[in-house]
Amino acid sequence: MLPSTIDEHTTSRTVTAAGHPTHFHEAGTGRPVLLLHGSGPGVSAWSNWSGVLPELAGRHRVVAPDAAGFGGSGFHEGFEYGIKLWVAQLFGLMDALEIPSATLVGNSFGGGLALAAALRAPERVDGLVLLGTPCGTFPMTEGLAAGWHYEPDPGAMERVLRLFPYDPSLVTPEMVRARYEASARPGAQQAYRRLIPEPRGAGTPVKGVPEDRLATITAPTLVLHGREDRVIPAELGMRAAHAIPDAELHLFGECGHWVQSERRDAFVALVDDFLARRVR
């Protein structure tokens, strides 16, 4: 069940973008900031960003959409899902909300989506904040493989989720239940499996945005990564920060794949500081 509100100041509604019903949360006024969720079974904008959205909305206009096939957004059988569709959906949502350009804050898959958007239409991206974002080619990790093989089951969901944070106690029964219920909706797991190749043993290659393409990005970029990330290794965050010309890197010790949850206060402070200093 998706909530209708996060708090009394946050709306939840749906528009059509790229031919898909696109569900999103919105709060605040000012500079537009779009929060792009990661992948994984049962993921949604709500599950990724509810802990930080109200705080960020105190100073910015914050929009957190569900990508097609995830959360409350539509999934159509036989439709070709991939990064081109998700970028088109993102820009379609921005058009519907009359947002000509925005800062894109992307977690994991959402970071990859933000990078693809910046490469396709740099004039629409004022800045980038990348959390646990893949780049280049790297061997499939335990976290990615577990998510691909997942079939809806509460016990299986708990085992997958415990691979994400450094401290597994962050995975609560309420989180497991909500993510399991979301993962059981039609099309949810099919959408996730469009993102990564089927695991075929140790060393299965996974591809993110090539580093030579990252070198062409002009938007100011803040790269945030957990040192103990078992889904997207910290080395990839360092590679991205090295490749993007105007990038800053912050590496969190004793932190896994959920920087925005595991280091919530530091995340909000770093994003606010980055927007104030670097994004115009």
Please say if the pLDDT value at position 251 is more than 90. Answer: yes
**Spatial distance between the Cα atoms of 45 and 38, rounded to a whole number of angstroms:** 8
CATH architecture of 11-278: 3-Layer(aba) Sandwich (3.40)
Task: Give the pLDDT score at 34.
Answer: 98
**Spatial distance between the Cα atoms of 256 and 219, rounded to a whole number of angstroms:** 26
Annotated active-site residue 20? The verdict is: no
Task: Give the pLDDT score at 3.
Answer: 43
Task: Give the pLDDT score at 191.
Answer: 67
Cβ atoms of 44 and 65 within 8 Å: the answer is: no
Distances (CA, A) of 197 to 215, 231, 278: 25, 14, 36
Q: Which of 50, 108, 183, 261 is catalytic?
A: 108
Annotated active-site residue 229? The verdict is: yes
Cβ atoms of 41 and 160 within 8 Å: the answer is: yes
Q: Which of 25, 225, 229, 261 is catalytic?
A: 229
Please say if the pLDDT value at position 76 is more than 90. Answer: no
pTM, entire model = 0.93
Per-residue pLDDT tens for 19-43? 899 999 999 999 999 999 998 888 9
Please say if the pLDDT value at position 65 is more than 50. Answer: yes
Task: Give the pLDDT score at 4.
Answer: 43
Q: Which of 20, 23, 225, 257 is catalytic?
A: 257
**Spatial distance between the Cα atoms of 252 and 61, rounded to a whole number of angstroms:** 27
**69 or 27, higher pLDDT:** 27
Annotated active-site residue 108? The verdict is: yes
